[in-house]
Structure 1
């Protein structure tokens, strides 16, 4: 029995999978460390949430807006070099961030991060699809690594802030990207091991992928009524995701008891006590709960219609957003419960909408369909940070969450409409 038939990863599969796992974890480590740092920046630079929200949302927007051009570059130059460039660019952006003296420089550094990070998903997913024979297993490990980065980034940042100033912390965070580059330069793998090659060394469909006219024609074919509605649905997810998570560490701080003082963890007059922020650790914990949401959401995609699942999850998120602040004010345990529910539901949506996109796009245009998906989730969704920041500067936290509930409410309604279009392609 061959290795492929037995379901085991080949040596090439393992090399590629290890590479993309490291890179995927690093991307999301940086992405979710930014909200932790924002708590420091709000105090350090005496800036309001509206201004900082706009500065951060530009970088997050570029994370999504670069997905389509990055996909074109992948087809021309290959994945390895672009992932290495992505890692190096993200590391360089955090090195620049460590020297920031104000919001303008923070915005510039985060723009560099967004441009560099936008390369990863088209390049990483393309590498798995063309180089890993056991693609399902490769995608599974890839997703697990991303979830690890989502939870690990805020936790690592919060722990480092206990011991060092934020400038040094951002400089130390260059290390994950440097390790990823080092692995890429030493790893050996064949990027096209899982696909047939043409006599000239290319892969089937290269001309089709590189043709601008074909890109336009495929896009027109792709955007049926159902796919268009699905794109708006993922926009609603992106806006709510970014709107709630960006300022959540700061918001949680308003409801957290002084755990360090109650448990006498540190001397009240010590620098450690001053830097310890329990809200950051709660935030990291809620993101870890989201890993369970990813697992449950993924399992449900095999058992129920994804439109039904999205309707239920979106509706539940809307309800959680409305009651989040009143429940959080009841005490630490209610805060823990409502926060965990938010994290679980928010991340359970991801496998649901990813599976939905597959249902409403032809197999031959799957890469293009996910390019548009990342553009909507990360690009358009980045506006959620600016919207949340503006709302928090004008109205109360409860009113902000209540207004943000408009996004999942709209997502639930559109999911119902989507289920009735009848133009699934699979």
Structure 2
């Protein structure tokens, strides 16, 4: 890996950590916002859904822009946009203004995944899975650090201050991005160059898009699990008998500690993706094993529940680096931004409904019921991966039948 590539990977990691940190401030400040404005869980969950939905939906048009403008330039735009949106939330004078700023935050945050992953996938490195894993770990660091930092600030100050702090950090990262050159190979497509399809030529006719649909279906269902569990971890821990006095600092620290296990899972997910011959076997294993853990969280309390949450975090977060590697191998470079945009648009866009629907469920059935339901979603996701494997197998058989070259016995 060259010096410029290392700096670009560092930039992608900084952006990833901040991107998820911005999204994870809200679950910790959810309680104070609910109290200040007199919301129900459904109401405050809907406020969060505005950002989460845009976080997902915006990835699709962002993917198109990335293929035209270039991933590094779009990453810089996203960093500036996230920082200024976070500043606006911290200075919000009303609920309407806050929702508008949350909308902007979600839109700018949606740029990160298609831009950073397209940029990494275009780098000429031997162990691409490891690079995806390092990038994923940075996201987990942001996911784990944000609740801890936010909880520490809330123990002394108003809920607005975490947004102001991360706005400053985001501006620093954005100016760092401006200092980095755009290397050859990451520029936008040259005028007159041929357009390339989103799926590889070697896939047998009639199967390419079916496989991609199954792949994105698994991502969409993973999005429900991801957003549903992360948004309501603090609420779950506040009702846990092992959560001691239930202070903001303790709950934020506990959430950060549990999510820190995800960093380990993401790194080894990247390493495993370099070694797995059929990478979808890894994602199938993740969903099959996640289902009983999610159901167990819903039916336990105390230390047992915390252990299950740690195991779930360790397991579930291995999904993304493996899935990102699958997409890199299944798509052409010139359309990589669109492919990642569609995938993450479904993952975060569809997953955003877990915030509001989960809030509705908590109001009526309690937070534990949400995790039991997520166990069922994990089973559906395993079915989507199984469909992907079956279609890939049929495609391979079709390729053999279409190959005119005589086969050796």
Fold similarity call, TM over 0.5: yes
In the alignment, what sits opposite 2:210? Answer: 225
Further displaced range: 387-396 or 290-299: 290-299
- Length, aligned pairs only: 391
Contact 1:15 1:189 survives alignment (8 Å): no
Structure 1 equivalent of residue 343 of structure 2:
373
In structure 2, the residue matched to 1:157 is: 150
Q: Which of 24, 30, 49 is equivalent to 2:22?
A: 30
Match of 2:118 in 1: 126
1:312 aligns with 2:285: yes
The answer on 1:283 being equivalent to 2:255 is yes
2: distance between equivalents of 1:31 and 1:47?
20
Residues 156 and 310 (structure 1), Cα distance of their counterparts in 2 relative to 1, 3 Å cut: same
Equivalence map 1:106-117=2 (5 Å): 106-117=98-109
| d(CA) in 1 for partners of 2:336, 2:268 | 24
- Contact in 1 for aligned 2:80/2:170 (Cα 8 Å): yes
Query: How far apart, CA to CA, are the structure 1 residues paired with 2:372 and 2:315?
Result: 17
Contact 1:226 1:423 in 2 (8 A): no
Per the TM alignment, residue 334 of structure 1 is displaced from its structure 2 partner at its CA by 1.4
In structure 2, the partner of 1:263 is: none
**Which secondary structure does the structure 2 equivalent of 1:247 belong to?**
helix
Counterpart secondary structure, 1:224:
helix
The CA distance in 2 between the partners of 1:298 and 1:216, in whole Å, is: 22
Q: 1:112 to 1:135 in 2, by over 3 A?
A: farther
The C-alpha deviation readout for 1:276-296, integer Å capped at 9, x for no partner, is 442221111111001122233
Match of 1:394 among 350, 357, 364: 364
SS of residue in 1 equivalent to 2:195: helix
Structure 2: segments with no counterpart, 5+ residues: 400-409
User: Structure 1, residues 69-109: CA drift from partner, whole Å, max 9, x if none?
Assistant: 11222233334443222112111211121133554333222
Equivalences for residues 37-76 of structure 1 within 5 A: 37-76=29-68
Greater Cα shift, 13-22 or 297-306: 297-306
**Secondary structure at 2:317 match in 1:** helix
Moved more, 361-370 or 55-64: 361-370
Shift, 1:239, TM fit = 1.0
Q: 1:336: how far off?
A: 2.3
Write out aligned runs for 1:14-413 (5 A).
14-130=6-122, 136=128, 139-185=132-178, 187-192=179-184, 194=185, 203=190, 208=195, 224-257=209-242, 259=244, 276-301=248-273, 302-303=275-276, 305-328=278-301, 331=302, 333-358=303-328, 360-361=330-331, 365-413=335-383
Deviation by residue 1:47-67 (Cα, 9 ceiling, x = unmatched) = 111122222112111112112
Relative to 1, partners in 2 of residues 1:236 and 1:140: Cα closer, same or farther, differing over 3 Å?
A: closer
Helix, strand or coil at the partner of 2:253: helix
Q: State the distance in 2 between where 1:379 and 1:181 align.
A: 25
How much has 1:311 moved relative to structure 2? 2.8
Distance (Å, rounded) in 1 between the aligned partners of 2:22 and 2:73: 20
User: Is contact 1:239-1:381 (8 Å) kept?
Assistant: yes
Distance, in Å, in 1 between the alignment partners of 2:215 and 2:122 is 26
- Separation (CA, whole Å) in 1 of partners of 2:127 and 2:183: 13
Aligned-pair distance for 1:217? 12
Q: Which moved more, 1:315-324 or 1:234-243?
A: 315-324
More displaced stretch, 103-112 vs 48-57: 103-112
2:384 matched to 1:420?
no
73 and 63 in structure 1: CA distance in 2 versus 1, 3 angstrom threshold: same
Contact 2:89 2:163 survives alignment (8 Å):
yes
* Contact 1:98/1:170 (8 A) holds in 2: yes
User: Following the alignment from structure 1 to structure 2, what is the Cα–Cα distance between the partners of residues 164 and 127?
Assistant: 38
The alignment's TM-score, normalised by the length of structure 2, stands at 0.84
Contiguous gaps of at least 5 residues in structure 1: 1-8, 261-273
User: C-alpha offsets along residues 11-48 of structure 1, whole Å, 9 cap, x if unaligned?
Assistant: 32233233222222211221222211213222222211
Task: Give the TM-score of the pair, scaled to structure 1.
Answer: 0.81
The Cα offsets for residues 368-426 of structure 1, whole Å up to 9 and x where unpaired, read as: 32222111111122112122111111212232322232211111223223322225679
- After alignment, is 364-373 or 158-167 more displaced? 364-373
Cα separation, 2, equivalents of 1:418 and 1:255: 38
